[in-house]
């Protein structure tokens, strides 16, 4: 898997190296405590898939330039801010096997750091009059917040239909990947039609990405940062579960709804539910839907002329659904 990521990065290796420096600069402030936290953020960063999408989409239609770097920094600032806030909301003390910011500096500082990162994302666009990028990131922040709230609202009653599930993951996850692709195109071209087209590509890719994430909950080994059955324990209704309960008979449906509502911390009951989802074809159904979204994204990409950037985006699509964590 690491080899695929290196292969994807090939056309943008230089840009990714330069981006690390620019991203760190975009977070700097005059407050020593903030700088300490932002240094920690940079040293514990993930695979940085989102900036990769920005640069590859810019190269798909033109050349990477300073606006592309600003766009990638905006996206990464928003992404990091939401992760920091999520850890506070979820009372989570670990992220990517490191302590989370709220674990190290407590909730109050974590919330303020998240707010600071969001403000830096907005300022980065207004300072350079990138108002087209500002419109994209403002919409993205709104949608991500709406997606989280929709999920919380529905989680109380566990009445999430397949349609509502797609809307939640579109807003929570896919909207940010869509923004990466749209911003990448807007930074290198004035063609709004192409920007919208690649925004759709990003949406389909993001949907496939989140369904893959939800499938990890049913694997027999512990995935990095996500113990098996954690979604059930947190009463999150994901696609394999929604499909299984919809297809189950009344007796099984009642029994497993009770597991999710009242016995979600009972290891035996959770394991029983995971086995029931597997046996009922819930995983196969979710895999089928994930591949449908992947195909929609591939169809959009097929319209573009051959290039190294296009090849990397195709590889990225394969990586999204074949990754092991």
Domain total for the chain? 1
Return d(Cα 175, Cα 115) in angstroms, integer: 20
| CA separation, residue 23 to residues 71, 74, 271 (Å) | 10, 9, 42
Closest-CA residue to 260 (of 248, 207, 302, 136): 248
Return d(Cα 243, Cα 284) in angstroms, integer: 10
Handedness of CA 136, 141, 145, 147 (dihedral sign): positive
Residue 10 phi, psi dihedral angles, 5° rounding: -45, -55
pLDDT mean by block of 10 residues, the chain; 325 residues: 82 91 78 72 73 96 94 90 73 60 70 84 91 94 91 78 94 95 96 95 96 83 55 83 92 89 84 90 95 96 94 93 77
User: What pLDDT score does 222 carry?
Assistant: 47
Q: Domain of 67: which CATH number? A: 1.10.600.10
Closest-CA residue to 141 (of 82, 210, 201, 202): 82
Return d(Cα 16, Cα 158) in angstroms, integer: 42
CA atoms within a 13 Å half-sphere pointing along the CA-CB vector of 61: 25
User: What pLDDT score does 85 carry?
Assistant: 65
User: What pLDDT score does 221 carry?
Assistant: 53
Question: Which residues, 6+ apart, have CB-to-CB distance to 24 below 8 Å?
Answer: 38, 39, 42
Return d(Cα 94, Cα 98) in angstroms, integer: 6
User: What pLDDT score does 91 carry?
Assistant: 62
User: What pLDDT score does 156 carry?
Assistant: 72
Supply the range of the domain harboring residue 119: 2-322
pTM of the predicted structure, to 2 decimals: 0.89
């Amino acid at each position: 898997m690491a080899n695929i990521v290196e292969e994807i990065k090939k056309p943008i290796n230089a840009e990714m190296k330069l981006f690390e420096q620019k991203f760190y600069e975009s977070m700097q402030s005059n407050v020593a405590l903030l700088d300490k936290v932002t240094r920690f953020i940079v040293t514990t960063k993930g695979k940085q898939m989102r900036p990769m999408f920005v640069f590859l989409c810019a190269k798909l239609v033109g050349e990477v330039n300073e606006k592309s770097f600003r766009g990638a920094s905006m996206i990464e600032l928003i992404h990091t801010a939401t992760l920091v806030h999520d850890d506070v909301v979820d009372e989570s003390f670990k992220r990517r096997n490191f302590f989370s910011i709220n674990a190290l500096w407590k909730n109050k500082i974590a919330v303020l750091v998240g707010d600071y990162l969001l403000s830096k994302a907005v300022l980065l666009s207004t300072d350079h009059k990138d108002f087209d990028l500002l419109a994209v990131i403002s919409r993205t922040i709104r949608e991500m917040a709406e997606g989280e709230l929709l999920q919380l609202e529905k989680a109380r009653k566990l009445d999430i239909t397949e349609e509502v599930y797609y809307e939640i993951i579109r807003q929570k996850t896919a909207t940010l990947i869509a923004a990466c692709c749209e911003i990448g195109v807007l930074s290198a071209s004035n063609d709004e039609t192409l920007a919208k087209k690649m925004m759709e590509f990003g949406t389909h890719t993001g949907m496939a990405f989140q369904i893959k994430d939800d499938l990890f909950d049913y694997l027999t080994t512990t995935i990095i940062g996500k113990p098996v059955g954690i979604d059930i324990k947190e009463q999150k209704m994901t696609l394999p579960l929604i499909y299984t309960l919809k297809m189950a008979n009344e007796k099984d449906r009642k029994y497993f709804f009770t597991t999710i509502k009242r016995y979600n911390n009972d290891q035996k009951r959770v394991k029983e539910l995971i086995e029931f989802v597997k046996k009922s074809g819930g995983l196969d159904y979710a895999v089928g839907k994930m591949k449908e979204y992947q195909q929609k994204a591939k169809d959009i990409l097929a319209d573009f002329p051959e290039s190294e950037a296009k090849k990397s985006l195709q590889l990225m699509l394969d990586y999204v659904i074949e990754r092991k964590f």
